[in-house]
Structure 1
């Protein structure tokens, strides 16, 4: 039986913001492209100076010169800046420790997974573990006796806490090995203490704690169990999503401050990560998706104009460029503060934070849309389908979205919904999502060139991709439901189809270093095209150029899953009754993928099975106008010639590979359908 797309593993929120894949590898290349290479050696030398002022200056300097500068950061890495900074975490001077932690935090954010892995391998967790307990003690003292410490002391402690938590957050996303080590620290009570005291604390460390909690409860059983073990934790999260305070740390909340919105979004994401809630918990009967996620996040993704933000960022970047900061100002006598930023830089941070909040909301919604609606339980009354127990175990262990998509495409009309309200919820998200997939001038870097502002480019491209993933899941879910309401809105379907192609035309198909996000967006977009094609099958009018682009993508990729999506999309487009020429182009292409008794198939087993199934589906009704292509093209004879070759391909499926048994079963079913289809078409004698 068919089933809706299973919940895909959501990408963990990625704080690593500055992509540098377009830069040449190696220290020599980094040295050539960095404008600050002469500053590297003095920084490293002063890092181990006997003068604490010099050591502090060196830590601050690292934070300043790596900002949005991948080349300089890599030069510092080559000089073991990570190891030097970790050594400074046990410095005898507290100020040096504070600045070293801040520099490591900034390296985590700007440097990506490799630098986080280096930190883990150099045992950063050893000193950081001790910081967690110290922060807990000091935080309790400040909360119990707020007048016992100066505002400056509190400020330093809160900044230090934010730095420590952010490093733990970044490390948690680096590898399972790092995540397991962080699990052993038992961070959940520590992090929840920040959320529980959010009204008396600055929002920055509170938000960092929420970010870390979101990661630690994302498909992490130990984190989930720890959070679900205390009813107060869940009550705290629910209160954040439903009743944010109007007062934070004694200051009136700014209505446009992205941080308060992000905190709510994170709380909703954490609740979804740990759902279902324990039965004994107040609020456990709440439908997290319907009552919290959708009402909270839909306004978030509708609240922004990406072109306006891109234009503002460009103006700010131009303003900063007109007065470039001088690296020579980095002197011990005039040591800058590690958080010193201009007004323009602070505004850029605010805009980036708003974009990241939207990205996070989209990632959560993607998971929601992957599971709504879910008709997969509508099988036999005893809860079992026709497969044996071993087959059921394999199906349960699989997380193969393409197979699920194929099942939707083949069997979506046979299913009934378990929740009739969900199909009406999903389409309401589509207009907002379409607005978020349109690229701006800063969304993707030029070919082999850096972006004018890498953090904004990274955030915008992530939003486009997340919005496209969300659309992908929406249309696959709608394909499974096939409600009359959706089918009746054929004009809406054509508009979505046309809008998608406008977006893809603007994204272009540039390839090469630094253009990976463009390619990723295209790959996801093909899944959206397939979903739209399934929902509005028979009513979509396409162009020959669009058809040929999809065919070219199928030919140029070695990714069999992407090939399946391309073939599935072509299958749907070929079934528009009046588009006889489009049907012929698709048919000729699909036939070219078939094996013969002497020529093997040019594609793998999975896309071949999809191609055979597509031809059967396209020509299952001989009364349609485009059936003339089947008769005049001699398609029946070509299908007959392919039977033995198709059987050999199916028998050759490697049973040792994951998902191979399910693919073999589907292959056998399609082969049987092919034989039956040939017999049927023969009997028509057309």
Structure 2
């Protein structure tokens, strides 16, 4: 049962804002799905017009057309709109350049990896590099003499800085190649200048700079070392994370208040990314997780009601649909990219609030992955062995925890996981889907950005729960495990969430599948914590069996088997025990073949050993009356063959081989033990 960690190969923190996987592939299907096909050609033509006002119109029109419309975005992409907009970044007219930068930023945010990769391949970094010193120079002038430039000019520069920084942030998550190129620019001083001067600047580009820093310092030594090398930077980040402010009573300032909360959350995330901090810094004496992360992030995740947010978003979407509005793409009138209706602005604010909660959950997932800290020797590995296996153990998406620590009765006295259960109530509420949480089957969402943010929150909250119950299972807390009623409540709420998500997987439903893949890990952890006191319904057992049989992912099968193993050990559930045991026996190998992958095979074998390790339990009658000993004996050679076939050189192979040898030896010893019982 592996802890949820961010994948090194997938750097993007936010999912695609306007998903398009539910759409058939190809420009023809995009053309048939789009209602704006006729507007595409005039935009592309005017992008190259000798008239600057036409070029500006075309750039603004791109931003307006792609809003919540993946089909039209695909059509524009097929007409090389990315290349055309990058060309406009060197336009002779400043307004055209500014609007082109805004359109590219919106394409990055809405379109995700594919568009970002296209921008990188078409050399967007070359003009972006030239903007950095220019932005720095203009901002320095504003800071020295704030009243020298008109407010409108300042706002344009702030918006331009926000768009350029956000584009760099998205590009840095596209690939390691793009990240290396951005590392070579040495962005840290530029980005930190916004945070250092935050009180004198507009909050929007400051938050964009913090978001870019948060992404750049995630598993990236170049950026982390640059940040840690300056004590002033560390003091600034710590000051922001520890700051407090009173929300304004002025409704016009509500947006700025939300952004300040986001800035605090981002600063705490940056500090955690670059930890451990240098010993000479003032922040090095602070326990980041317990003194900063949890006190800051716990109120953030408890501050939002997802059902209320979804209801309000739906109401605003309905209002927009019924409200007549001026056509913003008229060829006779230049559109304005900043012209938004009140309902549109509120929808953006709701999304921003949801994204801040998602960000807090993302950081908490890491906190829950390390709390409580195990003391030396708990795993029985030497320090040298741990150092040699750091890389393997860091990628828990590839390496399940093969050390069987979930069944351990060891309780590290120095580990105090009491802080973790306090997060559970808020997380349980955040995994419950709303009417807008997932794309409808074979259809699009009424408001894709809200749907994207809500589903991301559900998944992040489920990842937090996964790590919490792994920690509680690894380091048992008797006050938690003794609360059988609390265990049943958690179990039922996780099932309620997964039941509402449903099992209709396919195009456009990737997030539903992801919820199940993480959720079954939570069920496993809960089942371990309350093993022997937690029973499941017949339907729940069958769902786990069907999920295990239907999944092509060995990790998901292992989680299902682990949960079933624990449920089989409820003493009074003799019938359920037999159903589970019969299923597990089907997963055992023969001398010549195996019905499942090696990880699943080992998990099933280990599960049967653990279930029937105590012959005095009521359900042991199933073992004796159903000839299970003979079936286990017949599987020994198949288990040996599977263990011999494990390649130590593959990622995680060393741990899996060690785990396999342990299970093989346990199987042989268990067979002998049961034979001795007669």
Q: CA deviation at 1:245?
A: 5.1
Cα separation, 2, equivalents of 1:237 and 1:658: 36
2:613 aligned residue: 620
Does the 8 A contact of 1:444 with 1:451 survive in 2?
yes
Does the 8 A contact of 2:12 with 2:174 survive in 1?
no
1:530 aligned residue: 524
Is the aligned partner of 1:674 residue 2:672?
no
Cα deviations across residues 602-641 of structure 1 (Å, max 9, x unaligned)? 0111111111111110011111111111111111111111
Does the 8 A contact of 1:53 with 1:332 survive in 2?
no
Is the aligned partner of 1:35 residue 2:35?
yes
Q: CA deviation at 1:512?
A: 1.5
* Residue in structure 2 matching 1:401, options 383, 396, 404: 396
Cα separation, 1, equivalents of 2:405 and 2:84: 56
Report the CA distance shift for 1:380/1:319 in structure 2 as closer, same or farther (over 3 A).
closer
* Residue in structure 1 matching 2:484, options 490, 508, 515: 490
Report the CA distance shift for 1:131/1:15 in structure 2 as closer, same or farther (over 3 A).
farther
Is the aligned partner of 1:153 residue 2:149?
no
1:384 aligned residue: 382
Report the CA distance shift for 1:392/1:679 in structure 2 as closer, same or farther (over 3 A).
farther
Q: CA deviation at 1:656?
A: 3.7
Report the CA distance shift for 1:448/1:255 in structure 2 as closer, same or farther (over 3 A).
closer
Q: CA deviation at 1:460?
A: 0.4
Cα separation, 1, equivalents of 2:576 and 2:321: 51
Does the 8 A contact of 1:4 with 1:371 survive in 2?
no
* Residue in structure 2 matching 1:662, options 652, 655, 665: 655
Cα separation, 2, equivalents of 1:157 and 1:247: 26
Cα separation, 2, equivalents of 1:128 and 1:516: 34
1:181 aligned residue: 181
Does the 8 A contact of 1:366 with 1:466 survive in 2?
yes
* Residue in structure 1 matching 2:412, options 388, 409, 416: 416
Cα separation, 2, equivalents of 1:491 and 1:649: 41
Q: CA deviation at 1:399?
A: 3.0
Q: CA deviation at 1:379?
A: 4.4
Report the CA distance shift for 1:334/1:172 in structure 2 as closer, same or farther (over 3 A).
same
Report the CA distance shift for 1:595/1:419 in structure 2 as closer, same or farther (over 3 A).
closer
Does the 8 A contact of 1:523 with 1:562 survive in 2?
yes
Does the 8 A contact of 2:15 with 2:456 survive in 1?
no
1:77 aligned residue: 77
Is the aligned partner of 1:357 residue 2:350?
no
Q: Following superposition of structure 1 onto structure 2, how do residues 187-586 of structure 1 map, counting pairs within 5 Å?
A: 187-244=187-244, 254=254, 257-323=257-323, 325=325, 327=327, 329-331=328-330, 333-375=332-374, 377-379=376-378, 384=382, 393-394=388-389, 397-401=392-396, 403=399, 405-420=401-416, 423-586=417-580
Report the CA distance shift for 1:343/1:567 in structure 2 as closer, same or farther (over 3 A).
same
Report the CA distance shift for 1:405/1:215 in structure 2 as closer, same or farther (over 3 A).
same
1:636 aligned residue: 629
Report the CA distance shift for 1:400/1:111 in structure 2 as closer, same or farther (over 3 A).
closer
Q: CA deviation at 1:655?
A: 3.5
Cα deviations across residues 451-476 of structure 1 (Å, max 9, x unaligned)? 00000000000000000000000000
2:123 aligned residue: 123
Q: CA deviation at 1:324?
A: 5.3
Cα separation, 1, equivalents of 2:156 and 2:214: 25
Cα separation, 2, equivalents of 1:227 and 1:355: 28
Q: CA deviation at 1:653?
A: 1.9
Cα separation, 2, equivalents of 1:609 and 1:566: 13
Report the CA distance shift for 1:139/1:397 in structure 2 as closer, same or farther (over 3 A).
same
1:140 aligned residue: 140
Cα separation, 1, equivalents of 2:179 and 2:596: 39
Cα separation, 2, equivalents of 1:380 and 1:622: 28
Q: CA deviation at 1:390?
A: 6.9
Q: TM-score, normalised to structure 2's length?
A: 0.96
Give the secondary structure class of the aligned counterpart of 1:284. Answer: helix
Give the secondary structure class of the aligned counterpart of 2:174. Answer: coil
Cα separation, 2, equivalents of 1:142 and 1:471: 46
Cα separation, 2, equivalents of 1:592 and 1:330: 62
| Aligned-CA RMSD value | 2.1
Cα separation, 1, equivalents of 2:601 and 2:309: 45
Q: CA deviation at 1:657?
A: 2.0
Give the secondary structure class of the aligned counterpart of 2:409. Answer: helix
Does the 8 A contact of 1:647 with 1:671 survive in 2?
yes
Q: CA deviation at 1:401?
A: 2.7
1:68 aligned residue: 68
Cα separation, 1, equivalents of 2:638 and 2:134: 69
Cα separation, 2, equivalents of 1:65 and 1:324: 17
Give the secondary structure class of the aligned counterpart of 1:283. Answer: helix
Q: Aligned residues, how many?
A: 674
Cα separation, 1, equivalents of 2:252 and 2:449: 29
Cα deviations across residues 167-214 of structure 1 (Å, max 9, x unaligned)? 101101111111111111111111111111111111111110110010
Q: CA deviation at 1:670?
A: 1.0
Report the CA distance shift for 1:17/1:215 in structure 2 as closer, same or farther (over 3 A).
same
Cα separation, 1, equivalents of 2:553 and 2:15: 28
1:646 aligned residue: 639
Q: TM-score, normalised to structure 1's length?
A: 0.95
Report the CA distance shift for 1:64/1:51 in structure 2 as closer, same or farther (over 3 A).
same
Cα separation, 2, equivalents of 1:411 and 1:396: 24
Does the 8 A contact of 1:442 with 1:457 survive in 2?
yes
Consecutive unaligned residues of structure 1, counting only runs of 5 or more, are none
Does the 8 A contact of 2:129 with 2:185 survive in 1?
yes
Cα deviations across residues 252-291 of structure 1 (Å, max 9, x unaligned)? 9539942121111101100100111111111211011000
1:601 aligned residue: 594
Does the 8 A contact of 1:15 with 1:109 survive in 2?
no
Cα separation, 2, equivalents of 1:417 and 1:481: 9
Give the secondary structure class of the aligned counterpart of 1:117. Answer: helix
Does the 8 A contact of 1:594 with 1:601 survive in 2?
yes
Give the secondary structure class of the aligned counterpart of 2:254. Answer: coil
Cα deviations across residues 129-172 of structure 1 (Å, max 9, x unaligned)? 11010000000000011111111111111111001001101101
Give the secondary structure class of the aligned counterpart of 1:401. Answer: coil
Does the 8 A contact of 1:437 with 1:503 survive in 2?
yes
Mean Cα deviation higher: 301-310 or 251-260: 251-260
